[in-house]
Amino acid sequence: MSRVHSLVTSAVMLAFITVVPATAVAQKSGGSLTVGLELDIPGFDPLKVGVFDTSASMAAALMFDTLTSLDEAGEAQPKLALTWSHSEDYKQWTFQLRPGVKFHDGSAFDAKAVKFNIDRQKDPANKCRCAFYISTIKAVEAPAELTVVFILSDPAQNFPKIVATATVNNVVQSPAAIAAKGADYNRNPVGTGPFILKSWNAGDRLVLERNPVYWQQGRPYLDRVVLRPLPDSQARFASLEAGESDIVWDDEFDSDNILKAKKNPALAVHQHTGSGAGVYAFNTKAAPFDDVRVRRALVMAIDRPKWSQVLTNGLSRPATNPYGEGSWVKCKDDGAFPFDLGKAQALIKDYGKPVKFKMLVTATPRGRAVGQVLQQFWKQAGAEMEIEQVDQTAIVTRAFARQFELTPWRIIDLADPDPQMYANFRSGSPLNLANYTNPELDALLDRARVTPDLDKRSEDYCAISRLINSEAIWFWSFQNTYYAIAKAKVKGLGKFHSGIIDVSPVWLE
Amino acid sequence: MLGFFATRLGYLVPVLIAVTLLTFLIASLLPGDLALVMLGDQATPETVRALRHDIGLDQPLWWRYLSWLGGILTGDFGRSFRTGEPVLAAILARLPVSLELMLLAELTALMIAIPLAIRCARTSGGSFDRIVTGIAFAKLSIPNFMAAMLLIYVFAIQLRWLPATGYLPFGEDPLGNVRAMVLPALTLALAEWPVLMRVLRSDMIATLQEDYIAMARAKGLKQRRILFVHALKPSSLTLITVAGLNIGRLIGGAVIVESVFALPGIGRLLIGAIYTRDFMILQGVVLFVAAGFVLVNFLVDLIYAVLDPRIRHVR
């Protein structure tokens, strides 16, 4: 009894300890934050850059706003839009916009500005590569000053979540500034966001200052954010250790530094497991992968924990389905085969012929390492894999042309699994890399995208995962996980949705 | 003298044409089509064909070369395929950083190399000479990135005397600019001084055995005067050649050093261009660097002639 009692007290005390500081220590305003990014940012004009990489999106999240934002649980919350509603078939979404918001150049934000941005990206005359990502947006209408309507070609239940990410398509840029600055706009972007671009040296730091008239009262807390491209991971970590950066982007291939930082009390490692994963596709029309026994054998022969240990000191988190821990799709049973070398060997023996094939890997040290580990696993199972090193871009071409036996691919973080699952597995899709057709799979994919009930959808996507895993047409390596290493005084960092480290809510202790 | 100048200048033209041709060919033959890089996951055969047409990649190679060359002659280096930024502007914006880095590195290397070489030559075979030559040899075998990481670890992380990364324009913050440049310049200089030192040392040893040095000694001239005035000038011809040729190595080193120390110079621009297959930037930078290299060596030839009048008459 006394033991139970003390457990209860300590639980209460624990709750007390964890809750109290959070409320007692108010967010402090002021201060400057220096952020180490991975890459140089080429600019922000969608027509010029086509797509924002992670570094550009991190900067965009500071200077621009999106219609919605994602909270800790990954649910859409109001940002530039206050409320939203949808048509019954989820093909039309209407957003009511926040009144009184101004761009940094003083011009007013309204429905026309949203329409202008999307129309400009979709205009065939502009030949914007960014148009690809919004091909399912048929039109945008602005029926009232603060009402904007998106008309979609496919049903999108999670549209408000999809427009939350600071991508090239979603951030709202100032129509007036785009018109006024012309070719110079790319490096002089104007948004409604919490920070205003102050200066930008070529190939070097972007200095952003607090937007004094930001629509959210009292925000942002920081006076200034400096973004520095630091492409070398050692240099990026050194800049943190030397006190020149307050927070740096990192990934699990830099595991030595992440593990070092975890031991350092002055530093904090922030990590976020998103949705999506690193994946591999078998070409099921090419021997020996036209036989399901071979595919299953190879998948069973993979010891993911060991793979992770070799590549990233165990930081990489094994994936058993394409959705990942960060996704709202939760599967009790995703149908993944457990590691079983004996069964794999038996299947290969049963197949009877020698299993020899080539796997594409990117011609980078990482690509080679990943391939060599698989090579060893499969050798033990009795299969002979030859590594074919190709340029990153060649993988895309070869994949589209189906000129491969086994190719790496990636499922990126998106708020909804539908766009990628539909493209990757619906028969006849150009991205159906496995060349695999199954009416049952098609029916599940068709139903999942229009089912309103989230639990039922989740169950459909789990059934899809079970089918893919059982047929072993694709397999998954590791979940998409994102890292940032920060000084301990950096507080208020949210989740890294889609791998974007948004430092706009940060305050310094 | 003028004739000599003109002949040397005449050599420059074919060299630069060869450089542009090679640059263009290498850039064009690199694996990885620019259109594919730009399109990424949307690289269907149709979109690739359309983009290749838009940026002129479907034109024959010779035609693309000639129009690029024609543009350069009129001062138009083209525009980045990715961002539309004029290539010349991109290079000029980053050039001061690289020039400052290389100049400081070369000066530092000379400041280390010359006194050591003179001292070693004077006492050649002695213990000082042996130790310094040994250190020089050891230093030659440490690659730039390694030296950079060691310097960062000691001076930036442990001692916190100097910044590990970054760059501040001289106009904004002169002291910050110099502080940021110390470690990168030192990294490059550490790789350069052994070569310079060894060259000058051996020339100096030879010079010190000349009759006129014995004559100067016999006259009772001061040691310092003999070394720095009578011996240094005639011994420094090879040094200057090597220093000129070293520009090539320095540029190569700068590419690495700029990445490690996050300096926004043309080395970083070049690496970025290679990763993104931005051929216009790539070609522009390589041409610029090559032209700079050729010009520096042209200047070295001129300095030669100034230092040693015999060269002017021979040619």
The confidence band for A264, taking pLDDT boundaries of 50, 70 and 90, is very high
- Contact criterion met (CB < 8 Å) for B83 and A42: yes
- Min CA distance, B24 vs chain A (Å)? 20
The confidence band for B31, taking pLDDT boundaries of 50, 70 and 90, is low
Contacts B38 to A, Cβ<8 Å? 50, 129
Residue of A nearest to B153 (CA): A238
- Please tell me the predicted confidence (pLDDT) of residue B32: 63
Q: A–B: how many Cβ contacts below 8 A?
A: 125
User: Residue A12 above 50 pLDDT?
Assistant: no
User: Residue B45 above 80 pLDDT?
Assistant: no
> Is the separation of the CB atoms in A208 and A58 below 8 Å?
no
- Contact criterion met (CB < 8 Å) for A244 and B163: yes
The confidence band for A234, taking pLDDT boundaries of 50, 70 and 90, is confident
pLDDT in tens, B210-233: 888 888 888 888 888 888 877 888
Query: Which residue, B190, B170, B193, B192, is CA-closest to B263?
Result: B170
Please compute the mean of the pLDDT values over residues B160-188 and round it to a whole number: 87
The confidence band for B105, taking pLDDT boundaries of 50, 70 and 90, is very high
- Please tell me the predicted confidence (pLDDT) of residue B303: 80
Most confident range (mean pLDDT) of A349-358, B175-184, B203-212, B288-297 is A349-358
Please compute the mean of the pLDDT values over residues A337-361 and round it to a whole number: 94
- Please tell me the predicted confidence (pLDDT) of residue A222: 95
Give burial (CB, 10 Å; 0-12/13-18/19+) of A346.
Answer: middle
User: Residue A168 above 90 pLDDT?
Assistant: yes
**Lowest-confidence pick of A1-5, A130-134, A187-191, A320-324:** A1-5
Binding-face residues of A in 21-40 toward B, CB within 8 A: 39-40
Residue of A nearest to B156 (CA): A242
Q: What percent of chain A has pLDDT over 70?
A: 95
Secondary structure in 3-state letters for A308-344: HHHHHCCCCCECCCCCCCCCCCCCCCCCCCCCCHHHH
Structure tokens at B27: 């850039």
Contacts A186 to B, Cβ<8 Å? 83-85
User: Residue A114 above 90 pLDDT?
Assistant: yes
A389–B contact, CB cutoff 8 A: no
Q: Give the SS3 label for residue A226.
A: strand
Minimal Cβ distance to B83: which of A43, A129, A430: A43
- Please tell me the predicted confidence (pLDDT) of residue A16: 41
CA distances from B120 to A382, B115, B129, B236 (A): 64, 8, 5, 15
Please compute the mean of the pLDDT values over residues A31-43 and round it to a whole number: 91
- Please tell me the predicted confidence (pLDDT) of residue A22: 43
Residue of A nearest to B167 (CA): A204
Contacts of B281 (CB under 8 A, 6+ apart): B80, B87, B90, B269, B270, B272, B273
Please compute the mean of the pLDDT values over residues A103-124 and round it to a whole number: 94
Please compute the mean of the pLDDT values over residues B73-82 and round it to a whole number: 83
Please compute the mean of the pLDDT values over residues B178-195 and round it to a whole number: 90
**Lowest-confidence pick of A17-31, A200-214, B90-104, B288-302:** A17-31
CA distance A373 to A359: 12
CA distance A315 to A313: 6
CA distance A370 to A302: 12
The confidence band for A100, taking pLDDT boundaries of 50, 70 and 90, is very high
DSSP A395-452: HHHHHHTT--SEEEEEEPP-S-SHHHHHHHHSTT-TT-TT----HHHHHHHHHHTT--
- Contact criterion met (CB < 8 Å) for A203 and B41: no
- Please tell me the predicted confidence (pLDDT) of residue A470: 94
CA gyration radius for chain A?
24
Contacts A132 to B, Cβ<8 Å? 42, 47
Structure tokens at A376: 């060893």
Binding-face residues of A in 223-262 toward B, CB within 8 A: 228-232, 234-236, 238-239, 241-245
pLDDT in tens, A402-432: 899 999 998 988 888 988 899 899 998 888 9
CA distance A154 to A151: 9
Please compute the mean of the pLDDT values over residues A26-50 and round it to a whole number: 89
CA distance A261 to A266: 8
Contacts B44 to A, Cβ<8 Å? 400, 430
> Which phi-psi region, left, alpha or beta, contains residue A163 (left: φ > 0; alpha: ψ -120 to 50)?
alpha
Contacts of A381 (CB under 8 A, 6+ apart): A297, A298, A300, A301, A341, A344, A345, A348
- Please tell me the predicted confidence (pLDDT) of residue B313: 57
- Min CA distance, A155 vs chain B (Å)? 21
pLDDT in tens, A296-306: 999 999 999 99
Please compute the mean of the pLDDT values over residues A100-129 and round it to a whole number: 93
H or E stretch including A197?
Answer: strand A195-200
Contacts B41 to A, Cβ<8 Å? 396
**Lowest-confidence pick of A154-163, A167-176, B119-128:** B119-128
The confidence band for B40, taking pLDDT boundaries of 50, 70 and 90, is low
Contacts A40 to B, Cβ<8 Å? 268, 272
Give burial (CB, 10 Å; 0-12/13-18/19+) of B46.
Answer: exposed
pLDDT in tens, A279-337: 999 999 998 999 999 999 999 999 999 999 999 999 999 999 999 888 889 999 999 99
Name the residue with higher pLDDT: A5 or A335.
A335
Contacts B94 to A, Cβ<8 Å? 202-203
Most confident range (mean pLDDT) of A343-352, B85-94, B113-122 is A343-352
- Contact criterion met (CB < 8 Å) for A239 and B166: yes
pLDDT in tens, B241-258: 888 888 878 888 888 899
Minimal Cβ distance to A234: which of B44, B149, B163: B149
> How wide is the angle at C-alpha A387 spanned by C-alphas A384 and A389, nearest 5°?
170
Q: What is the DSSP letter of B58?
A: T
CA distance A68 to A84: 10
Query: Which residue, A374, A131, A37, A265, is CA-closest to B39?
Result: A131
Contacts B50 to A, Cβ<8 Å? 127
- Please tell me the predicted confidence (pLDDT) of residue A146: 95
- Please tell me the predicted confidence (pLDDT) of residue B41: 65
Average pLDDT over chain A, rounded to whole?
Answer: 89
**What pTM value is reported for the model?**
0.83
Contacts A229 to B, Cβ<8 Å? 262
User: Residue A214 above 50 pLDDT?
Assistant: yes
Name the residue with higher pLDDT: A24 or B261.
B261
- Please tell me the predicted confidence (pLDDT) of residue A17: 41
Q: List alpha helices for A199-317, DSSP H.
A: 233-241, 255-263, 292-300, 304-312
Please compute the mean of the pLDDT values over residues A49-77 and round it to a whole number: 91
**Torsion from C-alpha of A136, A142, A148, A149, nearest 10 degrees:** -40
Average pLDDT over chain B, rounded to whole?
Answer: 83
> Which of B53, B165, B179, B274 has the most A C-beta neighbours within 10 Å, making it the best mutation to test the interface with A?
B165
Name the residue with higher pLDDT: B164 or A80.
A80
> Which of A204, A226, A248, A407 has the most B C-beta neighbours within 10 Å, making it the best mutation to test the interface with B?
A204
Q: Are strands A32-37 and A224-229 parallel, antiparallel or unpaired?
A: parallel
> Which of A54, A126, A201, A227 has the most B C-beta neighbours within 10 Å, making it the best mutation to test the interface with B?
A201
- Please tell me the predicted confidence (pLDDT) of residue B123: 84
pLDDT in tens, A442-485: 999 999 988 888 889 999 999 999 999 999 999 999 999 999 99
User: Residue B124 above 90 pLDDT?
Assistant: no
The per-residue b/e assignment along A109-141, b for 16 or more CB within 10 angstroms, e otherwise, is bbbebbbbbbebbbeeeeebbbbbbbeebeebe
Secondary structure in 3-state letters for A341-395: HHHHHHHHHHHCCCEEEEEEEECCHHHHHHHHHHHHHHHHHCEEEEEEEECHHHH
- Min CA distance, A49 vs chain B (Å)? 6
ipTM of the complex: 0.78
- Please tell me the predicted confidence (pLDDT) of residue B222: 82
CA distances from A392 to A229, A403, B81 (A): 22, 14, 19
